[in-house]
Amino acid sequence: MKLEAIIGLEIHAQIATKTKMFCRCDNDSFGKEPNINTCPVCMGFPGMLPAINKAAVEKGIIAALALNCEIPDFCKFDRKNYFYPDSPKGFQISQYDEPLSVNGFVDVLVNGEKKRVGITRLHLEDDAGKLTHVSAGSLVDFNRSGTPLMEIVSDPDLRSAAEAAAYAREVQRIVRYVESSEADMEKGMMRFDASVSLRPVGEEKLYPRAEIKNLNSFKSLEAAIDYEIKRQEELWANGEVPKSPVTVGWSEEKGKTYFMREKEESADYRYFPEPDIPPLHISAEMVAGYRALVPELPGAKRERYVRDFGLNEDDARILAEDLKLARYFEEVVALTDDPKRAVSFINTILMARLNEDLLAIDEQKVTAAMMGELVNLVKNGEISNNVAKSEVFEEMYLNGVAASEVVEAKGLKQVSDSGAIEEACRKVIAANPGPVEDVRGGKDKAIGFLIGMVMKEMKGQANPGMVAEILDKEIK
Ligand SMILES: [Zn+2]
């Protein structure tokens, strides 16, 4: 019997707001002393009234629109009741049957093929605190308690760990593009729960799933799903088809999932409408206003770069990865009308240095305007490509000097004076009778050698097109 994996993801992404979801506490607790960003609201003291953070709702709506979701004109918050020591209220404020948004999708590239992944819903909720287990017991830090989250629930459309990771990366790019979340996995701003089940190929029904909780890197997401598929394949092979859903954890050290509990169903949480928060009405006009704030998204950018600029898929993907980088590239293209040269300077020369120095595009000295000038100097034949990519770029990158100033100060201008080039060509021809005979005899390879010698003679500053032309004329 051939089995296929049915995978769905819940992605929790921290919303990039200044304050928490329902109180005015600072939302940035990274690296801070435990329990300093707290107040009676996010500590769940009796009698405290939560108030909705408008920015969190707006950023949620914009992310939902970027994920092609519909925004119903009515949504409400609900209490999800459960006891856990990191949750001081004894419940989480989430959205149950009437969430902020529903019915979206994301197109994901998997091995060069486009796959559409459905999004069931994106809803808002607040986060719990954090437990640290030490030998003497457990410590709790409530700084994260009340942090705004968006939970993005996919349809069970994914069929492999690789597809799940590609989908999760695309969602990360999108929420970053619209600035709804920084989605920095290393700071715990984005985490995944993955539901995995198997079924015989051809069947429509879904079998009970295992939900793997709290995966906090793309690597563990893939490894945990792969492990869980193998584990369930063995169960099926032994005739032990799963009969009820389970919740499992992932042990990074052992590379295995482990049983946590029978999976809770929604009835276990005794959901009821949150009495302290009024429902939200979001009109069609408001949605249209938010939609206008959604920029062109990475998928559309990649396609446009290939279609309009003639880039290859890899270059387009690298540039569209980050909105700031994409904007930089587009600015250079606007200044030069030369996307091919722009991409060769940005993706090879500049990106190599940024990767080496672990810098982002907006943390370095070569602005888009400066890069545009450099590309134009090459395009107009004023400096050679080699000189531009080595000496000139180096000085720009290290010291923030404009390309034209570097060229002027170092005397790097390309020589297009035919007299000087002719003189160098004659000298090279006289000194290399062998290769010259080869060219006359029709061996075209030798011409490359002679061009190289002339360029060397002229310290790399000769216009290579003119060198080839003059050499050809002189030899024949
Ligand atoms: Zn608070």
Tens of pLDDT, residue by residue over 38-75, are: 999 999 999 999 999 999 999 999 999 999 999 999 99
Under a CB-based contact definition with an 8 Å cutoff, are residues 377 and 404 in contact?
yes
- Tell me, in angstroms, the distance from the centre of ligand 1 to residue 61's CA: 23
- Tell me, in angstroms, the distance from the centre of ligand 1 to residue 128's CA: 12
- Tell me, in angstroms, the distance from the centre of ligand 1 to residue 289's CA: 30
- Tell me, in angstroms, the distance from the centre of ligand 1 to residue 130's CA: 15
CA-CA distance, 175 to 13, in Å (whole number)? 9
- Tell me, in angstroms, the distance from the centre of ligand 1 to residue 366's CA: 42
Residues 415-433: b if buried by 16+ CB within 10 A, e if exposed: beeeeebbebbeebbeebe
SS3 assignment for 339-382 = HHHHHHHHHHHHHHHHHHHCCCHHHCCCCHHHHHHHHHHHHCCC
- Tell me, in angstroms, the distance from the centre of ligand 1 to residue 79's CA: 18
- Tell me, in angstroms, the distance from the centre of ligand 1 to residue 45's CA: 10
The conformational region for residue 466 under phi > 0 = left, psi -120 to 50 = alpha, else beta, is alpha
CA end-to-end distance (rounded Å), the chain = 74
Under a CB-based contact definition with an 8 Å cutoff, are residues 410 and 390 in contact?
no
- Residue whose C-alpha is closest to residue 69's, from 274, 294, 273: 294
In the numeric block, which tokens belong to residue 181? Answer: 């979340």
Helices 54-66 and 284-291: crossing angle, nearest 10°? 70
| Chain mean pLDDT for the chain | 93
Helices 418-431 and 464-475: crossing angle, nearest 10°? 50
Global pTM? 0.84
Give residue 151's pLDDT.
Answer: 98
- Tell me, in angstroms, the distance from the centre of ligand 1 to residue 137's CA: 26
- Tell me, in angstroms, the distance from the centre of ligand 1 to residue 164's CA: 34
- Residue whose C-alpha is closest to residue 224's, from 11, 3, 7, 13: 7
- Tell me, in angstroms, the distance from the centre of ligand 1 to residue 402's CA: 49
Which value, in Å, is the radius of gyration of the alpha carbons in the chain? 30
- Of 254-268, 290-304, 406-420, the poorest mean pLDDT is in 406-420
In the numeric block, which tokens belong to residue 167? Answer: 């989908």
Tens of pLDDT, residue by residue over 326-354, are: 999 999 999 999 999 999 999 989 999 99
- Tell me, in angstroms, the distance from the centre of ligand 1 to residue 24's CA: 6
Tens of pLDDT, residue by residue over 4-45, are: 999 999 999 999 999 999 999 999 988 899 999 999 999 999
pLDDT level of residue 413 (50, 70, 90 thresholds): confident
Percent of the chain with pLDDT over 70: 100
- Residue whose C-alpha is closest to residue 127's, from 49, 27, 24: 27
- Tell me, in angstroms, the distance from the centre of ligand 1 to residue 55's CA: 16
Give residue 420's pLDDT.
Answer: 84
Cβ contacts of 385 within 8 Å, gap of 6 or more: 378
Tens of pLDDT, residue by residue over 142-179, are: 999 999 999 999 999 999 999 999 999 999 999 999 99
Beta 113-126 vs 130-134: how paired, if at all?
Answer: unpaired
